[in-house]
Amino acid sequence: MNKQELPSQDVLKKVRQLITQCEEAEPPFDSLGTPYVGISEETQNVIDMGSTAVPALCELLPTATAHAAACIAFCLGRLGDSRAIPVLEQMLARYENKKDKSPFDYAFIGNAREALQLIRG
């Protein structure tokens, strides 16, 4: 993202707060034991912020925990903004190349793949 696309501190703070709340929530798990990180009050609130949330989400993603990253990827996919493609691709490659994956790593991988499909159409 270029300098013009940096999030305002207010937006960054709000998005960080919502993603932290998403991370603290206990998600449902599928039959294979992978958590489903999807629509929740917190992710819907981020999505409702629209494209103004995208730079903040992109800034938070590289340092997020796997659970928070899954929340972020879900939101980015629903927002459908192509500015998220580079960071989603970068982080997806990082998670796919991890040797010992946690259930939340798999949740992020699934959400990131879906996000890229939604964004690319």
* Residue-wise pLDDT tens digits, 51-109: 999 999 999 999 999 999 999 999 999 999 999 999 999 999 999 999 999 999 999 99
Query: Which residues make Cβ contacts (< 8 Å) with residue 46, sequence separation at least 6?
Result: 15, 18, 19, 22, 53, 57, 75
In the predicted model, is pLDDT for residue 1 greater than 60?
no
pLDDT of amino acid 76: 98
In the predicted model, is pLDDT for residue 2 greater than 50?
no
Q: Closest Cα partner for 7 from 70, 55, 60?
A: 55
HSE of 3, CA atoms in CB hemisphere, 13 A: 0
Adjacent-strand bridge partners of 29: 35
CB 40 within 8 A of CB 70: no
